[in-house]
């Protein structure tokens, strides 16, 4: 987009050449602009007005889009927060359930004698629950930092 150079339109006047004819020439103190220069200036101005209109429309579209995007983002954020809070609550409940289960099913201390008669009575009876406790303890240890 170019600004109109009003000074560039020029001042023109009529210069007599002889007593019955003359020609139009640029004059410092001229008072009119040749029609083709004026027409070019008008066309350029109309182009600038059209471009400005288009920019204004684009700006309005962008503003509307921005507002919609902000509303959508806020709704998404609220949904995610609610989901996260729900998940945190369920995780906390799961942690409590695991702790309770561990308290209620504590296996006796390891007393393996597989070296003499595999599998030994302790392993047959408690190896499974002991492994489950180790797994549960590892799960609980991972939950601690975020609790
Ligand atoms: Zn054993």
Which structural domain range is residue 136 located in? Answer: 105-147
CA of 128 to the centre of ligand 1 (A): 11
Q: What is the pLDDT of residues 75-128, one digit of tens each?
A: 999 999 999 999 999 999 999 999 999 999 999 999 999 999 899 999 999 999
CA of 47 to the centre of ligand 1 (A): 92
CA of 127 to the centre of ligand 1 (A): 8
Q: What are phi and psi of 3, to 5 degrees?
A: -75, 150
Residue 60's Cβ-count burial label (10 Å; 0-12, 13-18, 19+) is exposed
Instruction: Tell whether 79 is covered by a domain.
Output: no
Instruction: Tell whether 31 is covered by a domain.
Output: no
Instruction: Tell whether 82 is covered by a domain.
Output: no
Instruction: Tell whether 114 is covered by a domain.
Output: yes
What is the C-alpha separation between 117 and 121, in angstroms, rounded?
9
CA of 102 to the centre of ligand 1 (A): 21
Instruction: Tell whether 110 is covered by a domain.
Output: yes
Q: What global pTM score does this model have?
A: 0.54
Instruction: Tell whether 117 is covered by a domain.
Output: yes
Residue 25, classed as helix, strand or coil, is strand
Residue found under tokens 């240890």: 141
CA of 126 to the centre of ligand 1 (A): 9
Q: What is the pLDDT of residues 34-88, one digit of tens each?
A: 777 788 889 999 999 999 999 999 999 999 999 999 999 999 999 999 999 999 9
Percent helix, percent strand, percent coil in the chain, to nearest 5: 70, 5, 25
Residue 14, classed as helix, strand or coil, is strand
Total of domains in the chain: 1
Q: What is the pLDDT of residues 9-28, one digit of tens each?
A: 777 888 888 888 988 888 88
CA of 110 to the centre of ligand 1 (A): 9
CA of 84 to the centre of ligand 1 (A): 44
Q: Which tops the pLDDT comparison, 31 or 109?
A: 109
Instruction: Tell whether 123 is covered by a domain.
Output: yes
CA of 112 to the centre of ligand 1 (A): 4
CA of 113 to the centre of ligand 1 (A): 5
CA of 114 to the centre of ligand 1 (A): 4
Instruction: Tell whether 130 is covered by a domain.
Output: yes
């Amino acid at each position: 987009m170019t600004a109109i150079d009003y000074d560039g339109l020029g001042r023109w006047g009529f210069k007599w050449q002889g007593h019955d004819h003359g020609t139009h020439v640029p004059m410092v103190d001229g008072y009119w602009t040749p029609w083709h220069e004026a027409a070019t200036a008008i066309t350029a101005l109309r182009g600038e007005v059209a471009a400005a209109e288009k920019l204004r429309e684009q700006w309005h579209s962008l503003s509307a889009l921005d507002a919609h995007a902000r509303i959508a983002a806020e709704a998404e954020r609220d949904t995610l927060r609610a989901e996260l809070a729900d998940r945190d609550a369920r995780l906390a409940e799961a942690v409590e359930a695991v702790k309770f289960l561990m308290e209620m099913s504590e296996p006796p201390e390891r007393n393996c004698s597989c070296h003499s008669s595999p599998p030994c009575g302790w392993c047959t009876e408690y190896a499974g629950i002991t492994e489950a406790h180790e797994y549960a303890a590892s799960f609980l240890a991972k939950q601690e930092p975020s609790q």
